[in-house]
C-alpha cells in the first residue's frame, strides 16, 4: 500500500478515539455514545471535497446519476475502490454496499469487535451526507454493519 493512503486511516482512527473519549467524558452514565461531532466533521469534509471533485464534470442529469458519481469517483477518491453494490427503490432510498470497508478492513472480521464497529462508520456517514448536500440533495445517512468488513449505507433523500 502506498504511504499516503495509510495516513488517512491513521488520522481517522485517531479522530475516532479522540471523539470517543470526549463523548464518554461528557456522559459517563449513559450507555450510548454520541457520534454527532464525528459525523459533522465528515459532513464538512464531504461538503468541501465534492466542490473539487466535480470541477471537471458535466452537470449531472438527475439524482441517480449523482449517486452513481458518489459510488464510483467519490468513493475511489477517498477509499481507493468503488462501491460494490448500489440499490434503490426509485423513491429516494439508496443502499450503498461496500463489501470490504476500508476503516474496518484491519479489524478482525468475526463478531468479536462488532460492538465497536459503529464508531468507525460515523465519519463516512457524514462524508456522504455532506457531499450530497452540496450537490443539492438533502438526506439522512445511516449505516448498517453486515458481517464485519461489509457495510451498507442507507441514504434517505428528504423531499421538501
Partner 1 sequence: MAVCIAVIGKENSPKYISCLKEDEELQLHYKVHTSLDIVEEKLSAPTKAAGDLRELYLGLLYSTEELKVFGYVTNTKIKFIIVVDSANSMLRDNEVRTMFRKLHTAYTDVVCNPFYIPGDKIESKKFDAVVKAIFQGN
Query: Min. distance of Cβ 73 from partner 1 in angstroms?
Result: 12
Query: Min. distance of Cβ 135 from partner 1 in angstroms?
Result: 6
Site for partner 1 in 33-62 (CB under 8 A): 44, 47-48, 50-52, 54-55, 57-61
Ramachandran angles phi, psi of 46, nearest 5°: -65, -40
Do residues 149 and 100 make contact, with C-beta atoms less than 8 angstroms apart? yes
For residue 80, CA distances in Å to 2, 23, 71 come to 11, 30, 11
Q: What is the Cα–Cα distance from 3 to 9, expressed in whole angstroms?
A: 11
Could you say whether residue 24 binds partner 1 (CB under 8 A)?
no
Could you say whether residue 96 binds partner 1 (CB under 8 A)?
no
Query: Min. distance of Cβ 21 from partner 1 in angstroms?
Result: 23
Residue selected from 135, 143, 148, 155 as contacting partner 1 according to rule CB under 8 A:
135
Q: What is the Cα–Cα distance from 17 to 15, expressed in whole angstroms?
A: 6
Could you say whether residue 16 binds partner 1 (CB under 8 A)?
no
Residue selected from 134, 145, 154, 157 as contacting partner 1 according to rule CB under 8 A:
134
Q: What is the Cα–Cα distance from 64 to 91, expressed in whole angstroms?
A: 11
Q: Which is nearer to partner 1, 97 or 134 (CB)?
A: 134
| Pure H helices in the chain | 3-26, 36-53, 63-69, 75-79, 122-134
Query: Min. distance of Cβ 136 from partner 1 in angstroms?
Result: 6
Footprint of partner 1 (CB under 8 A): 44, 47-48, 50-52, 54-55, 57-61, 134-136
Amino acid at each position: 500500500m502506498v504511504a499516503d493512503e495509510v495516513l488517512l486511516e491513521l488520522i481517522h482512527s485517531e479522530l475516532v478515539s479522540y471523539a470517543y473519549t470526549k463523548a464518554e467524558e461528557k456522559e459517563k452514565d449513559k450507555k450510548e455514545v454520541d457520534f454527532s461531532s464525528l459525523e459533522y466533521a465528515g459532513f464538512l469534509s464531504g461538503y468541501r471535497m465534492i466542490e473539487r471533485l466535480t470541477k471537471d464534470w458535466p452537470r449531472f442529469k438527475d439524482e441517480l446519476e449523482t449517486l452513481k458519481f458518489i459510488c464510483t469517483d467519490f468513493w475511489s477518491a477517498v477509499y481507493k475502490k468503488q462501491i460494490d453494490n448500489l440499490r434503490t427503490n426509485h423513491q429516494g432510498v439508496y443502499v450503498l454496499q461496500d463489501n470490504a470497508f476500508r476503516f474496518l478492513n484491519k479489524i478482525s472480521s468475526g463478531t468479536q469487535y462488532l460492538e465497536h464497529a459503529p464508531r468507525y462508520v460515523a465519519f463516512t456517514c457524514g462524508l456522504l451526507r455532506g457531499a450530497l448536500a452540496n450537490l443539492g440533495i438533502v438526506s439522512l445517512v445511516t449505516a448498517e454493519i453486515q458481517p464485519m468488513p461489509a457495510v451498507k449505507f442507507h441514504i434517505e433523500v428528504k423531499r421538501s
